[in-house]
Amino acid sequence: MDMRLTGKTAVVTGASRGIGLAIVRALTGEGMRVVAAARTLTPALKETGAIPLTADLSTAHGPAEVIEGALAELGEIDLLVNNVGGGDATADAAGGFLGMPDELWGQVYDLNLLSAVRATRAALPSLVRRRGSVINISSTGARTPHGGPIPYTTAKAALTAFGKALAEEFGPQGVRVNTVSPGATRTDMWEAADGFGSLVAAANGMELEPFLAALPAASGMTTGRLVEPEEVAALVAWLASPHAASVAGADYIVDGGAIKTV
C-alpha cells in the first residue's frame, strides 16, 4: 500500500537503534524527509538517508534544540514521532520501589515523558500550520504498571494520557495525536548483554538466552515470539498517512496478545 507520504517531513527521536531506527527506515522508505535525533549516531542510522542530529533528549533544552534544527533542515514538520525512552539499565531500575531514589525517578520521567512534552511543545506551531500529526511511542507497561520498573511504567502511563489530552485540544486545529504501545520487542533493551533484560534475567537466576526464550510464554504472548521493531514501524507509517485521517486519540497495542483485558 502506498502510504502517500512522499515529500512529507518527519522528526523521530531516539532514532539510533531498535524501534526508532525501524521507524526512520519505514518513513524514509515511504519517501519522507526525516530528521533523526539520538544521543549517539550509529552507522545504521547514517545509512538510512535521514538527516542525523545529536541531542540529549533527557535535558530541559535538548528536545527544543532538535525541533529548531529540524525546522532549519526541513522548513516545516508534518510528523513528530516521540520515540525516545527506556533509559540506561541499572540495578536500581531492576529493583523494587524502596530501592529507587529520587534521582532515578527524575531521569526516567525526563526521558520517557518530559522529552515528548518538550519536543511536542516546540513542534506544535509547525504541526498546526501543516495540519500534521504526533505519534507517541508508549508501552504496554502503561496498562500493566506492575510489569516493569515503577518509574518507567508510570511515566509511560502519563505519556499515553498526554497523547489523549493533546488529541482533544489540538484535533480541532487539524493535528492528529495517537499512541503506539509495544510489548516486549526484539531490541537491545531486552537482548543486549548489558541491557535491562540481562538485569531481569540475573534477578531471576537465569542466563539471558533462556530467559528471552521463555519471555513470550511468561508474558502471555499468544504469538509465541517477541514483537519485531519493523512491525511497530509499519503501524507508525500507517498512522502518519492519509489512510488514517480519522484516527485520533487512539492507543494501539502491539504486544503479541499479551494483554488479555478489553
- b/e 40-63 (16+ beta carbons within 10 angstroms → b): eeeeebeebebbbbebbbbeeebb
Measure CA of the first residue to CA of the last residue in the chain; give whole Å: 29
Helix spans in the chain (H): 18-29, 43-46, 62-74, 91-94, 102-109, 115-130, 150-170, 188-191, 196-203, 208-218, 229-240
95: Cβ contacts below 8 Å, ≥ 6 apart: none
Distance (Å, rounded) from C-alpha 46 to C-alpha 44?
A: 5
152 included as an active-site residue = yes
Catalytic residue among 13, 65, 124, 152: 152
Could you tell me if residue 61 is left (phi over 0), alpha (psi between -120 and 50 degrees) or otherwise beta?
alpha
In this structure, what C-alpha cell is assigned to residue 193? 548483554
Distance (Å, rounded) from C-alpha 239 to C-alpha 79?
A: 10
Positions annotated as catalytic residues are 152
